Amino acid sequence: MFTAVTGTDSTLAPSDPNLGPGPRVLIVVGVALLAGISVWFLTGCNRDAGGEVMIGAANGAQIVSADDLEGIPDEVGHSVYWAGEQPNTEIEFSDDESGNVHLRYLTGGAEAGTADQFLNVGSYPFEGAFAATKALANQSPRIPVPIDGGVGFYDPKNPFSIIMAFPDEPNLQIEVYHPEKNAALDVVRSGDIVPLP
């Protein structure tokens, strides 16, 4: 199962009035960067050496219709991204107590919660997600992925997941996973990854 993304602790913000705005900005950016790095490592730990995500019976996983998805952003309190309706698939919805949402595109009559691997679009809310994603995208060996209006990247050691974020949603990170090598990159480049209406 993908690991929940955690936000930053506001107690880490400096309270010393003698600190100028420069050090404060550096501290805030540093905390956001650490949160992003921890997200990357936490989700990376859920993949085996072949790059597959180890998804077990997801918490409350259920098959939903496209119409059922319309109210989900209001229910979870943040935007949720998807790949639109895909032919010959059923959409599986699952979420967790941290607000992470996964929409998987099941094929071949697969049942909700199956451990089999499918296209999966994860929406992860955490403080400073865009800043952390942007910083990570510029660190070697990660490869930046052009995203219209946003930033994205993938790790060449894990060409199964694309991580992306948008400045108009600074506290949300999106992951697009596909079990076929480089297929997630094709999905992202197609422009199909959009917020639910």
Model confidence over 110-126: pLDDT tens digits?
999 999 999 999 999 99
Q: What is the pLDDT of residue 30?
A: 52
Q: What is the pLDDT of residue 137?
A: 95
Please identify which residue in the block is written with the tokens 């506290």. Answer: 171
**Domains of the chain by residue range:** 15-190
For residue 128, give the 3-state DSSP assignment.
coil
The C-alpha atoms of residue 163 and residue 125 are separated, in whole angstroms, by 13
Q: What is the pLDDT of residue 59?
A: 59
| pTM for this prediction | 0.73
Residues of the chain with pLDDT under 50: 1-17, 19, 22-29, 31-58
Q: What is the pLDDT of residue 17?
A: 44
For residue 136, give the 3-state DSSP assignment.
helix
The C-alpha atoms of residue 58 and residue 74 are separated, in whole angstroms, by 21
Residue 187: which of 162, 165, 166 has the closest Cα? Answer: 162
CB 128 within 8 A of CB 12: no
Dihedral sign for Cα 7, 46, 153, 185, please.
negative
User: Which helix (H) or strand (E) covers residue 101, if one does?
Assistant: strand 101-106
Residue 50: which of 159, 153, 171 has the closest Cα? Answer: 159
Residue 173: which of 153, 146, 196 has the closest Cα? Answer: 153
User: Is the link from the previous residue into 141 a cis peptide, with omega within 30 of 0?
Assistant: yes
One-letter amino acid for residue 126 of the chain: F
Residue 187: which of 128, 118, 138 has the closest Cα? Answer: 118
